[in-house]
Structure 1
């Protein structure tokens, strides 16, 4: 079913769209980015030219020229009497652009596969006769893998029984399943902003009304806002990333963990902790996991091998109270009929040598982080480069609301990135840019040079009021 976006809603989503001249191309670029990031879904009817012109305080001819530019590039189709409708942009993952030859793709913040993975796959294939003797439809997960996952939690100081573990086809599947069970249409859910956009997509699909709580690279979680949000809105659930948060890379302090747990318990909310990046420590060192609930069922943990081992190994898990695990198992057949046996066999072997995996990932991410920080500080000294102790990316302060314009310009130069607003819960973040450091160091250095050229071009074309925020054009 086709949907419509109002002029007011589109104006809000565009944010500070006027980042270049002529104005109609800046507007067209803003709408293009909303389409590319899937913030405007395919087959969405856009506002009439006159309505959008009024909402943006521009002339109707500016909107008409922008729509004409979007038709020329295949982003919308217009029919007399039917309005302008966004078009599907080919076969791609929502929010991603296909990378051509020679392009540097920094849209997906995932390192390459762990070097020992191919060998473990071969070992698992050698036991194929044993694997195919199983029924194959197991919505809970094989016991050997659940025991291995429970053991890893116990090593972290979180005593866990295998019956408190559900194996899923990746963390995203776990988020979808948990949302479908815990969230009803119209329920409030607290989430960090910025945050992992696909989690936001899953929560909204479940009908959640999101309440954003700010987190920044320097100040961390806004505890006052978080406590007020829990008390005022009484969310049924909170989605949080306490370790190496995506995209900021920030980790919660002991105080922040205790304060958010206390506020969540007072509100009666279930805290869903996405720990998919928790093992990607570079030089932070171990911390107490925290979030020890006073009542069972308050805290749910999600894990995955996507960031630590390989994005193509679609295997994740949920660690929760036994009652919730049973509810998830009962609901799961509507989503899928279990996790593939082959992936589970590989994951079981991986968890037995996980310390080796984590050590290699730490070294890999350290080299990528150091390379991109060095290159960006040399090429773009005006940018605010945060200190990242782990995780997969830098959440950079640009100094002006030019993230969307920069991403469009960088794409024309062969660097694919995701603009800051894609990570927003309630708008904003066009002053920030996520730059992953998961690519090889030489590739990151080349990307920094291209970004510097793109940044100069964006500032040169931006209105004087915007340029003033970012400093004088050089």
Structure 2
């Protein structure tokens, strides 16, 4: 285990921001801290600042902070030990909220599926397949096993990194059977049972599964409102993490895009912590409001500390099951050996198809940009019309919108919505148990008319759901 994690008074005051003018003041303070816990910006088990420190940072009396802590303790959001301090917690009844919902639930005919963030193949796909099939005979005289991937595809991937401002050699690329296998390979190579690993909250659920199966200890940093690089750096240092997994490009599920300065800051934080940074770039090519993607995070790294994961699933097609890892040459060689007991090598034909698609990636990106913009805008307009009390930031790219509900009822709503003919994934599946109950992930990959119909069904489900809220204070604050 790493050392005890804590948040300082100044840091918590910055996370809270301006408090509402509610009276008494301690209720507004308690509500603000509870919101930070529920939406994941304050991880569970984090030691809160001493009452005197927080009072000084907020410019209020110690009695006010004491009363707020007392209320949170009574509601189960803070646990304390005499003389040791206070830690963030959750009421016992909420610890496994949403756990019964599974992404494998069988949809009935006519159900609109908002559980999957994936497009059909692009219009040029058939031509890419035809060209790849014509090229395939050149490879059939050999065994067909290339543990690091076909040189042709590795060259295409390396060239794309160079186009984005990151010079890359083909020998620094390992082709995998999808981005998920890429992450699993890295987990097995870099993580031992009991190692602390930092992840975002919320984050990609299968990434959490791989870490839990490996026996890693999860340290989390909240990103529902974007990245706080100071908090991230402090978390890495306090937990002693040697590995951090981040999704800076249209983050799944929030859709946030990390800026260049923050990318440089997190690379510096990993260097200071003597840790490795694994960056998932699955959505990097899917910008909507800007023609060019953000520079890769690894372009801010001069020492091989950043390992990048890419995938053909989102920009090209999920059925290809082709991913890749960009890393140092020694690590690439190590990963090639590690993957051999799993599947020996990725399939040849799918690699050739992906290489053909890379030759015309700008055509694909332009097509995706039009599709995603139309569907995103239809979703945004429908939400603002039918569910105006829901809060969200319009994403600049990617495939997902992260909607905040007025009350923490996401798991209940997901079950009710399924009965209304729409499948949607609740927030708790993207984070630690019991938090993010006030969020839903809504992909915008379906045509605009289906997006509008899905929101109509969601609105009906939300209006008709029988939701039990234990007290008025547990409602989330109004949107600003």
Q: TM-score, normalised by structure 1?
A: 0.78
* Equivalent residue number for residue 442 of structure 1: 449
Pair 1:179-2:187 in alignment = yes
**Pick aligned residue for 1:357 from 345, 353, 364:** 364
1:381 aligns with 2:446: no
Gaps of 5+ in 1: 1-10, 20-26, 38-94
**Residue range with higher mean Cα deviation, 251-260 or 119-128:** 119-128
Shift of 1:391: 0.6
Cα distance between partner residues in 2 of 1:294 and 1:283: 27
1:309 to partner: Cα distance: 1.0
Q: What per-residue deviation string (whole Å, max 9, x for no partner) do you get for residues 293-321 of structure 1?
A: 55533010111110111111100100001
2:99: which partner in 1?
A: 34
Q: Distance in 2 between matches of 1:172 and 1:426?
A: 22
In structure 1, the partner of 2:47 is: none
Residue from 206, 209, 212 that aligns with 2:217: 209
- Taking only aligned residues, the RMSD between alpha carbons, in angstroms, comes to 2.5
Work out which of the residue numbers 244, 265, 269 in structure 1 matches 2:271: 265
Contact 1:210 1:425 in 2 (8 A): no
SS for the counterpart of 1:277 is: coil
In structure 1, the partner of 2:167 is: 159
Shift of 1:100: 2.0
| 2:360 aligned with 1:336 | no
Q: Distance in 1 between matches of 2:391 and 2:410?
A: 13
Provide the aligned length of Structure 1 versus Structure 2. Answer: 392
Alpha carbons 1:200, 1:425 under 8 Å: kept? no
Alignment partners' CA distance in 2, 1:288 and 1:344: 25
Q: Using the alignment, how far apart are the partners of 2:300 and 2:291 within structure 1?
A: 24
Could you tell me how far apart the structure 1 residues matched to 2:100 and 2:298 are?
Answer: 38
Partner of residue 250 from structure 1, selected from 256, 261, 272? 256
Aligned pairs (5 A) from 1:253-402: 253-286=259-292, 287-292=294-299, 295-402=302-409
2:239 corresponds to which of 233, 241, 251:
233
Corresponding residue for residue 125 of structure 1: 133
CA contact (8 A) 2:297 2:306 kept: no
Query: Retained in 2: the 8 A contact 1:254–1:288?
Result: yes
Whole-Å Cα distance in 1 between the matches of residues 464 and 431 of structure 2?
25
Does structure 2 conserve the Cα–Cα contact (< 8 Å) formed by 1:297 and 1:324?
A: no
How much has 1:290 moved relative to structure 2? 4.1
Query: What stretches of structure 2 of length at least 5 have no aligned partner?
Result: 1-75, 78-88
User: Once the two structures are superposed, what CA deviation does each residue of 1:264-288 show, in whole Å capped at 9, x if it has no partner?
Assistant: 1111111101000001100045333
Q: Report the Cα distance in structure 2 between the residues aligned to 1:206 and 1:326, rounded to whole angstroms.
A: 22
The answer as to whether partners of 2:165 and 2:299 remain within 8 angstroms in 1 is no
Equivalent residue, structure 1, for 2:37: none
Partner of 1:223: 229
The aligned residue for residue 142 of structure 1 is 150
1:106-156, CA deviations, whole angstroms, 9 ceiling, x for partnerless residues?
A: 111112221211222133223443342231121111111111110000011
Q: 2:463 corresponds to which residue?
A: 456
| In structure 1, distance between residues paired with 2:199 and 2:132 | 38
Mapped to 1, the partners of 2:335 and 2:115 lie a distance apart of 31
Distance 1:376 1:234 in 2: 42
| Superposed displacement of residue 98, structure 1 | 2.1
- Distance apart, 1:455 and its partner CA: 0.6
Question: Deviation at 1:187?
Answer: 0.5
- Structure 2: distance between partners of 1:457 and 1:386: 26
Change (3 A) 1:426 1:295: farther
State how far apart, in whole Å, the 1-side matches of 2:117 and 2:91 are: 26
Structure 1 residues 257 and 468, CA gap change in structure 2 (3 angstroms)? closer
Map 1:90-101 onto structure 2 (within 5 A).
Answer: 95-101=103-109
SS of residue paired to 1:324? helix
How far residue 234 of structure 1 moved from its aligned partner, in angstroms, is 2.1
Instruction: Report the equivalent of 1:74.
Output: none
